[in-house]
Structure 1
């Protein structure tokens, strides 16, 4: 059964980072959805359609798309926003526990719940803050997510990955999850395997991005249904029980901290620069230099809290300009535009200090050059896309390994 193509549905698709990474292996996106609630013009969706075609691409709020309009698929993927996943019950229906309207996790949940042929695999991404939010009940949101997948019959492995620690050009930390439905051979394999081995050697993520274990494995109890978890999970704990690596199977969560164990090549910011081809609008105006220096420097500012108390807010200095011999800092959505800023990247070039170009930002996320270039899309918008995107190399590598695991166990 070599070379079976796996069908993928890509949710919260943005400009198609998951698709770029997965379609380098034997995956084919059969349906995608991208909807930006806060803007009239659907810029990301326009780029997606320009690159991959309009066919089977949906540009409407996923919460309003009926499940039967979504084709059956093997893999459900997407980078879903980190929101408040808490669950509300209604008195007349104690099972009517779906979360708040507009919280996109519940759209994934609904598709998995309503699909008769459930996707066998999940490949999801989020900010690592998910593991410890909200501040008053650290880890609760992640516990709700894990328990909801557990109830739907999935095992889940996760890892927080900083792309730069595996040789990629940007220090971008994100948590990645792979889910396996209980009907799969891989799920049965995990049941039989030593769980520490799965997390540190044999699992899909450990085989892709090798690690060394740094502390004993901890067990976390998910007690009760989603409402109970919402109300009671880690009520008194200051710290989230979820560490950077973990596994949920049959209601049991095991978690540990791991460290990268990588000995390959490293890309640095200097490797991706377009020197010599950069137009004048990216160069920093002399009259703005002082402002940039001030924003990047260390300072203590007096502020007033919402309760009216005065307090001192301190910021440390940033490396300015950015070091070219290291991976870049994380791109954020406000990276574009000329306005001086603490967080935008500034590099030295033969013609003076300058900001990064849209192509350089694409390269830091390992997108093809000019992937986001389209008539009517500003450079600032292109930078915004990259602030929201993921490092395609991470998706590509995990996708390759997942495909190998599926081939090894499902089609053997």
Structure 2
């Protein structure tokens, strides 16, 4: 392309979207940073702010890897939109919160959501930009489709309606990275939106919804899927304004209306249940392990193994709460140690530290048990080795970063497909 796609990265963490879109030091994540990667994307501005800590470690790691130019370490809700440069695409893994609408304004700024809810910071940036970004590429946890519990799917409906009001069409899919050969079982929803003046938007208008979702969308070309055997599909309108949707959508509904894939065009939702279709190679846990390079503090003392076996094991026991009330507690067992011949379980933010835990990864090697190293956790998210290594940043914090991060390979693949579609200007690129 003559000009690169200018990107703004919000809720940047340690730069997962940036590594996926730009590559790292000219190399591709999907090749293990061995093959050249020519990127058509350029991050022109980024923001990372962690409200719960004084030390902004994630932002420091980001600056260490990518430089301080164009990077903001300020509460995004307080950033002056006019200071954000014009961009073609906005990306980010925004936090899963309560997206309900608190009030409707009479002035030109439209609608406001609850204070402090970060979706509305994205909404504000888009709505106040002199030139709206043509593309949005967002990531979230898959429970977004069924939140909150008393109005299943309302939060996602609010997002879709607000994007419709801003002039966008939307496609989405829940993707488990391991289903497509990546080393970690990590399910996340990926949302791509297209402004009404783009050729992709115009293609969506003319498309047959089921064909778009299963064959012709950016996500479908990137990560092929077929219809689930249950053949569940739905069509419905997002009725009323955003305030009405916030208060009334699926009220008292016991089940959600959104399936794991779908599209929204001109306020109408089409959604269906899909299953992945993948015939490539698979990466498993043993493929990311370091060989003889892990330091002693990651190994578990023999005298502590009983604690790990207990926490990982099945339980049926009587427990007491803080008030002394006794109750029956039960939970199923987990495989211990973690199998090395399968993709890993999902990394969580509490992965770091030596204390025994039900959810931390433990492997057996040479008749010894150990936790995963920071490099191994980075590899499970397909980051470069030691991406988060920085003086003053502990191994516990590095594990926390990876628990919050996304699988970079998914971003890379979708980014490559989107660029092809933009370059060619074609309505669709049918899958063979």
TM-score (norm 1): 0.96
Aligned counterparts of 1:45 and 1:90: Cα–Cα separation in 2: 34
| Counterpart position of 1:42 | 56
1:273 equivalenced with 2:272 (yes/no): no
Q: Is the 8 A contact 1:89 1:96 kept in 2?
A: no
1:365 equivalenced with 2:364 (yes/no): no
Q: Please say which of residues 188-197 and 154-163 is displaced more in the overlay.
A: 188-197
Corresponding residue SS for 2:12: coil
Q: Is the 8 A contact 1:216 1:256 kept in 2?
A: yes
Residue in structure 2 matching 1:288, options 304, 318, 327: 304
Aligned counterparts of 2:2 and 2:403: Cα–Cα separation in 1: 34
The Cα shift of 1:351 comes to 5.3
Q: Please say which of residues 43-52 and 274-283 is displaced more in the overlay.
A: 274-283
The change in CA–CA distance for 1:277 and 1:258 in structure 2 (over 3 A counts) is same
Superposed, 1:1-400 pairs within 5 Å as 2-24=1-23, 25-89=39-103, 97-214=111-228, 215-303=231-319, 310-350=326-366, 352-400=368-416
Q: Is the 8 A contact 2:105 2:111 kept in 1?
A: no
* CA deviation map 1:150-202 (0-9, x unaligned): 10000010000000000000000000011000011110011112111111011
* CA deviation map 1:269-322 (0-9, x unaligned): 010000211111000011210000000000024456799975423211000000
Paired positions, count: 411
Q: Is the 8 A contact 1:220 1:241 kept in 2?
A: no
Aligned counterparts of 1:5 and 1:299: Cα–Cα separation in 2: 55
Corresponding residue SS for 2:360: coil
Tell me the C-alpha RMSD between the 2 structures: 1.9
Aligned counterparts of 1:280 and 1:80: Cα–Cα separation in 2: 36
Aligned counterparts of 2:82 and 2:368: Cα–Cα separation in 1: 56
Corresponding residue SS for 1:88: strand
The Cα shift of 1:11 comes to 0.1
Q: Is the 8 A contact 1:337 1:379 kept in 2?
A: yes
In the alignment, structure 1 segments of 5+ residues that lack a partner are none
Aligned counterparts of 1:309 and 1:115: Cα–Cα separation in 2: 56
The change in CA–CA distance for 1:254 and 1:306 in structure 2 (over 3 A counts) is farther
* CA deviation map 1:49-79 (0-9, x unaligned): 0000000000000000011000010110000
In the alignment, structure 2 segments of 5+ residues that lack a partner are 24-38
Aligned counterparts of 1:198 and 1:163: Cα–Cα separation in 2: 21
Corresponding residue SS for 2:258: coil
The Cα shift of 1:90 comes to 5.8
Q: Is the 8 A contact 1:89 1:95 kept in 2?
A: no
The Cα shift of 1:95 comes to 7.8
Q: Is the 8 A contact 2:199 2:427 kept in 1?
A: no
* CA deviation map 1:356-395 (0-9, x unaligned): 0000000000000000000000000000000000000000
Aligned counterparts of 2:115 and 2:374: Cα–Cα separation in 1: 35
The Cα shift of 1:92 comes to 7.4
Aligned counterparts of 1:122 and 1:361: Cα–Cα separation in 2: 28
The Cα shift of 1:411 comes to 12
Q: Is the 8 A contact 2:258 2:271 kept in 1?
A: yes
The Cα shift of 1:225 comes to 1.0
The change in CA–CA distance for 1:312 and 1:264 in structure 2 (over 3 A counts) is same
Aligned counterparts of 2:266 and 2:146: Cα–Cα separation in 1: 22
Q: Is the 8 A contact 1:269 1:328 kept in 2?
A: yes
Q: Is the 8 A contact 2:235 2:270 kept in 1?
A: yes
